[in-house]
Structures are given as C-alpha cells and as structure tokens.
C-alpha cells in the first residue's frame, strides 16, 4: 500500500504546484515593454532607487512622442536635468576653487573641472530643450507626480574639503559626486514646487499622488534656472556668449506668462543686465 501511495502523493503535489503557478501567471500583466506606460513605471522604480540617469533615460523615451504620460514626464525631466546641471556645476566650481589653493597637484583638479563642466553643459542644454516644450502642458497648474527625491539637500561636506585644496580619494570623489547630484535634484524640486530651499514644505507637496504647482510659480522657477544656467557660459567658465544670450532670452520668454511681482521684477532686471553685457562683448 505504501509503495503505491508515494507516486500518487507526488503526482498530487505536482498538480497543486502547477495549479499555483498557473494562477500566478494568469494575474494582471504589467505594461507592455516599450510603451509609455512601461517607461513611466520604470522611471518610478529607478527614481525611488536614486538612479537619476536611468530615470531620465526612461522619461526621454516617453517624451520622444506625444502620449498620455508626456504632460507628467516633462516637469519631472525638467527637475532632473536642472538638478544634475546644478550638481555638476557645483562640483566643477569646488574643484576650481581647490585648484587655486593647491598648487602642487594641478591635474587632480583640472581634469574634473573640464569633465564636470562638460556634464553641466549637457544637462543645461537638455533642460533648455525641455523648457521650450512647456506649452504642451495645458492648464493653470503643472503636475509634479513623481514623489520626493532620494538623498538630502544639506551641503556636501566633501566639497568644502575639496575647495580648501585637499585632494579627495577616489571613493570620496565618487561619493561627493553622488551627493552633489542628489542635492541639486532636491533643490530643483523645491524651486519648481514653489518652495525654494524649503525641503519640508516640498516633501509635503510631493507626497500627495496628484501633486501640482501653479503654472506661474513653475514658470518663474524655470526662468530662474535658465538664468542660473546661463552663468555656466560666462567668460570665467565655458566662455560662450552666444549661449549666454540664448539662455537669458529663453528665461525672459518664460517670464512673459508670469504675473508682476517683486521676484519677477528682480529676476527680469538681472537678466536684462547680463544681456546688455553679453551683447556689448559680442
């Protein structure tokens, strides 16, 4: 009796396992690979993991066409490109300051300055390109449905050390780069949420599933970031007056749909002053 029961029991166990696997595989399928829904889901996963580059890659796939996710992907991409440009810019500036102090190891500072400014340029141009598409986001409010970024907005301690002329070890330099980008993205999110430098308020705004910000506040933030990015092309950095003019003009274009305010007036004055100097030099 026992010898015949074992095969029967094994068959029954296999049947139950097969049934379980079958029921699992018949569950709801995820978005089809290569669709905007697929890239939106992937962007959410990589963003939570703190992988800014992959998140931006997924968003770029969405923004390659007009679809149901474009209006939500565009503000998100603007936050990431602005934050990365700022992070790389801060890294380059810190290395430049440190290089002036430390005269004994010039190559430890010069190469990173070039590399980081090149990256800042890349993401600044990408930001400006995305900003030109904001008319595709309709309505009086701009969606910010991506959640609060990973990391902290606290100043990067290693960059202060670097600026004092200390050469960072490879692990320290890598960690500083990661932290600078995280900080840049968080501060960009704060500005675009209408709460510059206020991380607590920004986190409260972004934790809601349907987070949004008034369009004028978002446009003011975009204009400010375009102006800040124009400084990358000044004579002491990349020395490209043509891009200074382009970024400043795009900043003024963004301000056209922002109501009069103290902040708007102050920013417009700064932009006009830079444009006058750039035009004279050109």
pLDDT in tens, 188-237: 999 999 999 999 999 999 999 999 999 999 999 999 999 999 999 999 99
Place of tokens 């290693």: 158
Kindly state the average pLDDT of the residues 47-52. Answer: 95
How many angstroms from the chain centroid is the CA of residue 258? Answer: 23
Residue 239 has pLDDT above 80, yes or no: yes
DSSP for 21-35 reads: HHHHHTS---PPTTS
Kindly state the average pLDDT of the residues 36-40. Answer: 98
Q: What is the pLDDT of residue 24?
A: 47
CA pair distance 148, 141, nearest whole angstrom: 18
Q: Which two tokens stand for residue 140?
A: 């009086």
CA gyration radius, the chain: 24
Q: Which two tokens stand for residue 59?
A: 């968003």
CB atoms within 10 A of CB 136: 11
Residue 175 has pLDDT above 60, yes or no: yes
Rounded percentage of the chain residues whose pLDDT exceeds 90: 85
Residues in the chain: 282
Q: How confident is the model at residue 278 (pLDDT cuts 50, 70, 90)?
A: confident
Helix, strand, coil shares of the chain, percent, nearest 5, are 70, 0, 25
Element (H, E) at 142: strand 141-143
Closest by alpha carbon to 192, among 182, 181, 206? 206
Residues 120-148 pLDDT 10s? 999 999 999 999 999 999 999 999 999 99
CB distance 184 to 85 below 8 Å: yes
Q: Is 167 helix (H, G, I), strand (E, B) or coil?
A: coil
CA pair distance 242, 278, nearest whole angstrom: 8
Q: What is the pLDDT of residue 277?
A: 86
CA pair distance 256, 72, nearest whole angstrom: 23
Q: What is the pLDDT of residue 30?
A: 84
Q: What is the pTM of this model?
A: 0.88
Kindly state the average pLDDT of the residues 76-80. Answer: 98
In degrees rounded to 5, what are phi and psi of residue 125?
A: -65, -40
Q: What mean pLDDT is reported for the chain?
A: 91
Residue 89 has pLDDT above 60, yes or no: yes
Q: How confident is the model at residue 21 (pLDDT cuts 50, 70, 90)?
A: very low
Q: What is the pLDDT of residue 1?
A: 41
CA pair distance 194, 196, nearest whole angstrom: 6
Residue 281 has pLDDT above 90, yes or no: no
Q: How confident is the model at residue 10 (pLDDT cuts 50, 70, 90)?
A: very low
Q: What is the pLDDT of residue 28?
A: 63
């Amino acid at each position: 009796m026992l010898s015949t029961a074992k095969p029967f029991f094994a068959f029954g166990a296999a049947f139950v396992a097969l049934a379980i696997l079958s029921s699992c595989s018949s569950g709801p399928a995820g978005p089809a690979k290569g669709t905007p829904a697929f890239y939106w889901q992937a962007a959410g996963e990589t963003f939570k993991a703190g992988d800014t580059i992959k998140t931006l890659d997924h968003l770029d796939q969405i923004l390659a066409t007009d679809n149901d996710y474009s209006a939500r992907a565009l503000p998100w991409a603007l936050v990431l490109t602005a934050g990365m440009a700022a992070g790389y810019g801060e890294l380059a500036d810190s290395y430049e300051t440190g290089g002036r102090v430390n005269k004994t190891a010039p190559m430890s500072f010069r190469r990173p300055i070039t590399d980081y400014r090149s990256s800042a340029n890349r993401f600044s141009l990408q930001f400006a390109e995305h900003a030109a598409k904001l008319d595709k986001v309709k309505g009086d409010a701009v969606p910010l449905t991506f959640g609060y970024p990973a990391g902290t907005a606290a100043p990067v301690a290693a960059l202060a050390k670097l600026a004092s002329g200390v050469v960072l070890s490879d692990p320290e330099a890598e960690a500083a780069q990661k932290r600078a980008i995280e900080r840049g993205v968080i501060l960009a999110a704060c500005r675009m949420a209408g709460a510059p430098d206020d991380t607590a308020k920004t986190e409260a705004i972004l934790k809601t599933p349907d987070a949004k910000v008034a369009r004028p506040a978002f446009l003011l933030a975009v204009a400010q970031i375009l102006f800040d990015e124009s400084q990358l092309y000044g004579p002491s950095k990349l020395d490209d007056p043509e891009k200074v003019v382009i970024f400043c003009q795009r900043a003024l274009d963004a301000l056209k749909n922002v109501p009069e305010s103290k902040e708007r007036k102050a920013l417009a004055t700064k932009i006009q002053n830079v444009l006058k100097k750039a035009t004279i030099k050109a």
